[in-house]
Structure 1
């Protein structure tokens, strides 16, 4: 059986299951890994390798971190003697001369059922939109954003309380064998890419910090989906004021790490205006355009993460405490 020598391209945690699966697959040899350069992280801003780089080093696979748009990159790629590439959350757009450099093409594992949610944040947008299911797609990369022909797809349900991070972690694992199967079909010549339909295209723009600012004048279901879509990145937040009537009241950033629509328990306040905060002995609620949202875990500005009830006791909420 002939062996397909491939380049693997990826950067974050969600790409690691695919790298490991391809490294263990019969008929495939991961000859090299392309990832983003080490980046400063943490309070000390120390240069830290990507999750994919660390995994590749553990597997004994050579790593390069050159920019595909740099002069000389194609020559470096040619010297690797690889025929195809598998890509998962690499984070850079590949120019045409790089795409042309591998005779059997570049193939991407994308976390949506294309043509739905083309773009940077497919799982996040699926959660935010409230759809009950999504999936993963392996397609051949072309110049158009996530527009290439499809090799394989799978489906997965989205649970009612799932965050986008939890969904991505699940799809990273279930998507790894899908990518292996696709690359094997490339290796043995049985791959039959099918053009994406022109109908049903939606765009999954990257979710930025401003997008994660929670505004509570929406129905509780919408607010809940926004928080779960922005968890863990970039992180849902609001501007908290302990007492809006105080003369020197200054809003502080409150990160919402976990929340849920309030239950029908008798102690849940029914008269909260959108953004109004109310704390009980074990619960903290905030009003929305419909029913209250219960805050479960938060991180106040300059503080560590904690249960919302513990935070509320220390925050000394006034009668006009608000999140906006």
Structure 2
């Protein structure tokens, strides 16, 4: 049996923690390392991470200190952990910490390494138009996601999949991959393989400004951006009901208009007779059951939106209630 420290923070790390904790034949999760409680929601109330919530439910001791502070090494040694499993913990670990456990630290990363090393591998894969992704278990070294690989599994990205959907699937699939890999490693049935050298895309974190939808690109590119940013940080644009020419010339930083979150969209179906053949980038066209917005190619159909201060709803219902003028644009 391996005495494990589990390090993770968001919802995507919950299933792997539960899988390891449930497998009490092979693992004993002696402690959980997670990020400190953070302010969330409109009230900015401090709330525990999803991983901390599960750890408390399971009765596992929780560590929230900075792993790069000297005091953490004392806590780590006191836990009795032999190895660590890391899933979306969110903090870089330095060499003294990595060397503190006799069996090492192992990361479940949601890409087919060496491609998409970094903070947002699934989001960047979708944005780039990849149709295949996966999960990788590797031993953590001082380089970013560059340690030797122990195992991988693959997953297809569907044409309408969002990053949230793909991450949910990878979290479930990766739970089994992580547990079986750690078991095989402990039984000396698997050997790490160094990652090939080369220049690979880095999955930079996606911020709120990155999620500002561009309509001056082809519809497929805007669709990828929206799916990559859903549910976090959430794709958005500025709804402007002023004169169309003025709105299209406005800069993204312009304070006029209100924020419209786009939760679901897709390139328009050109076989439908009601679908507009062409719209200027950002220009809205509203039918009885559909809402389209112009791009640099064919229009993009808005499926589900969330207007400022409103609940999420079908785009056609939102447009009907908003009583938008013919000059309405998104920018």
Settle same-fold status: TM greater than 0.5: yes
Correspondence for 1:222: 221
Any conservation in 2 of the 1:274–1:287 contact (CA below 8 Å)? yes
How much does 1:314 deviate?
2.6
Cα offset, 1:245, TM superposition: 4.9
Aligned to 2:250: none
Confirm or deny: 8 A CA contact 1:115 1:200 kept in the other structure: no
Please give the residue correspondences for 1:15-30 in structure 2 after superposition, counting only pairs within 5 Å: 15-25=13-23, 26-30=25-29
SS in 1 for 2:112: coil
Counterparts in 2 of 1:146-225, with a 5 A limit? Answer: 146-199=145-198, 201-225=200-224
Would you identify which runs of 4 or more consecutive aligned residues in structure 1 move more than 3 Å?
245-249
After TM superposition, list the pairs within 5 Å mapping 1:1-324 onto structure 2. Answer: 3-25=1-23, 26-199=25-198, 201-245=200-244, 250-263=256-269, 264-324=271-331
CA distance in 2, matches of 1:110, 1:200: 18
Does 207-216 or 43-52 show the bigger shift?
Answer: 43-52
- Retained in 2: the 8 A contact 1:243–1:317? no
Measure the CA separation in 1 of the matches of 2:121 and 2:292: 30
Shift of 1:247: 8.7
- Provide the C-alpha distance between the structure 1 equivalents of 2:256 and 2:93, rounded to a whole number of angstroms: 46
1:213-255 CA distances to partner (integer Å, 9 max, x unpaired)?
1111111111101100000001101111023259999321111
- TM superposition shift of 1:210: 1.0
Give the count of matched residue pairs: 322
Q: How much has 1:307 moved relative to structure 2?
A: 1.4
Query: How far apart are residue 309 of structure 1 and its match?
Result: 1.2
* Counterpart Cα distance in 2 of 1:245 and 1:272: 12
Q: 1:267 to 1:68 in 2, by over 3 A?
A: same
Cα-to-partner distance string for 1:255-276 (whole Å, 9 max, x where unaligned):
1111111112000111311111
5+ residue gaps, structure 2: 248-254
Please tell me whether the aligned partners of residues 107 and 137 of structure 2 are also in contact (alpha carbons under 8 angstroms). Answer: yes
TM-score by length of 1: 0.96
Cα distance in 1 for residues equivalent to 2:238 and 2:9:
32
- What are the ranges of 5 or more consecutive residues in structure 1 without an aligned counterpart? none
| Cα deviations by residue, 1:34-59 (Å, 9 ceiling, x for unpaired) | 11111111222222111111111222
Query: Hey, what's the Cα distance between the residues in 1 that align with 2:172 and 2:33?
Result: 20
Do the aligned residues in 2 keep the contact of 1:243 with 1:319 (CA within 8 Å)? no
Contact in 1 for aligned 2:9/2:50 (Cα 8 Å):
yes
Q: Is the 2:244–2:329 contact (alpha carbons within 8 Å) kept by the matching residues of 1? A: no
Distance 2:30 2:94 in 1: 21
Root-mean-square deviation (CA, aligned residues, Å) is: 1.6
Structure 2 length normalisation: TM-score? 0.94
Query: Bigger CA drift: 228-237 or 308-317?
Result: 308-317
- Which is further off, 290-299 or 114-123? 290-299
Looking at structure 2, the residues matched to 146 and 123 of structure 1 have their Cα atoms a distance apart, in angstroms, of 14
